[in-house]
Amino acid sequence: MKRVALIGMPNAGKSTLFNRMSGASAKVANWPGLTVDLLTAKLLLAGDMTELVDLPGIYDLHGFSDDEQVVRHFLCNNTIDLVLIVANATQIDRQLALALQLRSLGLPAVLLLNMADEAKNLGITIDVSQLAKELGYPTALISAKYGQGYTQAYRLIESELQTSTPAPVQTLEENFAVDQKMEAELDAIIRHSVDVPVKISHSLTEKIDNVLLHRWFGLPLFFSIMFMVFQAIYTLGAPMQELVAWLLGNVRDLALVPLLSSLPPLLSSFLIGGVFDGIATVASFVPVIILFFLMMAIIEDSGYLSRAAFLMDALMTRMGLDGRSFVMLLMGFGCNVPALMGTRTMRSRGLRLLTMLVIPFSLCSARLQVFVFMATALFSPREAPLVLFSLYIMSFVTVIFTALLFKGRFNSQEPFALELPPYRFPTVRQMFLRGWLEISHFLRRATKFITIGVVLVWILTNMPYGVEPASAASWSGWIGEFMAPILSPAGINPELTIALIFGFVAKEIVIGALAVIYGLEGADLMQGIAQQIDWVQAYSFMLFTLIYTPCLSTIATIRSEAKSTWFTSLSLAWPLILAWSVSTGFYQVARYLGY
């Protein structure tokens, strides 16, 4: 099988092109020798099945960041039939340097000048044939966002793939040397093949930035936008969640129960009350997760995420962090794992470790479904979005407190440089592909944990054989009673305690565990929980879920990235201590005030 690698600088549109080429076939793959998972896809090129690999965005092959080392390691230890160099045509004077570095390695490549539509609007003229001649690479102008030039580029890729010869792997490392003539050659290439206006104006972007990056109004506007995002997620997602729950409830009552009625009671209880109820309750929240990913995709792809980092940099610096740390925190709202891996762009180990310590406090999508469930069960439709937003704010409060507490232990003097791309609204196709990629990855990961988790919860709540399910005589009851002296001061009952224990494995299990423990699902489960606990207990439980020890995959990633047992232990213990302190403090104060 042939292999094609996608390489480009950050914000060049590499991921957009990857999504366009791969469609919905992308998957995460682990590569030997790399402490990172890379996106790959299999597609038919020039009549051969070809593996397309999306490498991390880098500025320089000779840099020292972890992402740059990952790319170098991949190029030096894997046979590559073709490299697709993706460059931003509006910044061609800066982005061709990476192409010249790759040429020095002797790698067969095709240069794809992305965002050609934006370059044209800015008055930038590129002589593609002259550029290809001087650079020595086939070159095409494209717009990965809108598909312009895509057919011609595809033909170039297939033609080059048929005739190219992979560079010998063992010789690549020898060629990693800085070419002192590269800068002069780059200037000559630009002078001969590119015509750039004296002044390039992004008038619309500048007008929007005058408002969104305002000295006084910028941050309030950002938090207002995020509040509207959570309002939209709840307002649009809750009815869809109820519809899916209703459909799954009918499948259970009208099809599954009659079909399994002839089975022994214990087996029927396991299949219906354990496996189906647990998985179905989690599945009903998939529409909410889809909406969440779509909203975050719009914020990220539009260019507003970079603005948020710029706005927060001054505050983050006071905490020993910087704007990149804030970007990673926002990435953590999807999943903590890729956000942790994204810290590789930081050269300072102190900055990287402190950022990794605070990322797990991000309100990830797995926690979001727990909060939507509890907010719907215990709060009115008007109060629920405010509850969700308060937890979002609380996640930042825990980040600030943790960073201030530990910044003296993790010092950094690394300067912060940030590029603000022009505003771009993603197309419907982009949002669909991005949303599908994220949700499919979420489901693949979640399904495994949820299935194992609900089975284990069923065993704990139904054993020893013959006891009343989830009673004090069951194994789960024993565990709950054992943990009661620790968690009862926070208002967390034995049933919620069991869910929290399994939430350490994966937060996606929490709702499924509750369904198995209470023997209910959907709206019935919400009513059952609402009858046992009040809003103070529910909010205390949500605070604990937000803050306490991250899931196993997050801990494993921290161990892999930090390469420190001590730091991994700190990442386990500190959130647990903080969660208990915050939840207990809230519960006790609320009860003291008479709630």
Beginning with the edge strand found earlier in the chain, give each strand of the sheet holding 27-30 in spatial order.
Answer: 27-30, 37-45, 48-54, 2-8, 82-88, 109-114, 139-141
The pair of structure tokens assigned to 565 is 């047992």
Which residues are CB-contacts of 309 (< 8 A; sequence separation ≥ 6)? 323, 324, 326, 327, 418
pLDDT the model gives residue 201: 59
Does the residue 425 lie in any domain?
A: no
Residues 191 and 241 in one domain: no
Contact 54, 39 (CB under 8 A): yes
Rounded to an integer, what distance in angstroms lies between the CA atom of residue 532 and that of residue 538?
10
**Residue 381 belongs to some domain of the structure:** yes
CA–CA dist 536, 306 (Å, integer): 37
Interior/surface letters 130-143, b for 16+ CB within 10 angstroms, e for the rest: ebbebbebbbbbbb
Answer with the one of 145, 179, 195 that is the final residue of a domain.
195
Rounded mean pLDDT of 122-147?
91
**CATH code, domain carrying 81:** 3.40.50.300
Residues 131 and 241 in one domain: no
Query: Helix H segments across 407-508?
Result: 428-462, 475-487, 494-503
Whether residues 313 and 382 share a domain: the answer is: yes
Within this chain, do residues 299 and 408 fall inside the same structural domain, yes or no? yes
Considering the domain architecture, whether residues 387 and 467 belong to the same structural domain is answered as yes
Q: Are residues 300 and 400 in the same domain?
A: yes
The 10s digit of each residue's pLDDT in 504-553 is 877 878 888 888 888 887 788 889 999 999 999 999 999 999 999 888 88
Average pLDDT over residues 171-181: 55
What percentage of the chain reaches a pLDDT higher than 90?
26
Determine the Cα angle at 39 with ends 34 and 42, to 5°.
120
Higher pLDDT, 127 or 37: 127
Shared domain check, 155 and 236 = no
Q: What is the mean pLDDT of residues 85-112?
A: 89
Is 421 part of any domain? no
Q: Does residue 208 belong to any structural domain of this protein?
A: no
Task: Please check whether residues 128 and 260 belong to one and the same domain.
Answer: no
Q: Does residue 103 lie in a domain region? A: yes
Yes or no: say if 365 and 292 are a contact pair by the CB < 8 Å rule.
yes
pLDDT digits (tens, 9 = 90+) for 353-366: 999 999 999 988 88
What whole-number distance in Å separates Cα of residue 467 and Cα of residue 476? Answer: 11
Q: Residue 34 has what pLDDT?
A: 44
pLDDT at 429 over 80: no
Tally of structural domains, the chain = 2
Residue 521: domain span: 220-412+434-592
65 falls within a domain = yes
Shared-domain flag, residues 189 and 224 = no
176, pLDDT greater than 60: no
Query: pTM of the entire structure?
Result: 0.73
Asked if residue 420 belongs to a domain, the reply is no
| Same domain membership, residue 384 and residue 251 | yes
φ, ψ of residue 117 to 5 degrees: the values are: -65, -40
195, 230, 256 - which closes a domain: 195
Would you say residue 418 lies in a domain? no
How far apart CA 390 and CA 375 sit, in angstroms, is 11
| 408 and 514 in a common domain | yes
Q: What is the mean predicted confidence (pLDDT) over 435-461? A: 74
Q: Write the CB contacts of 384 (distance below 8 Å, at least 6 apart in sequence).
A: 234, 238, 372, 375, 376
User: Tokens 């549109």, residue?
Assistant: 13
Say whether both 79 and 154 belong to one domain.
yes
> Is residue 462 scored above 80 in pLDDT?
yes
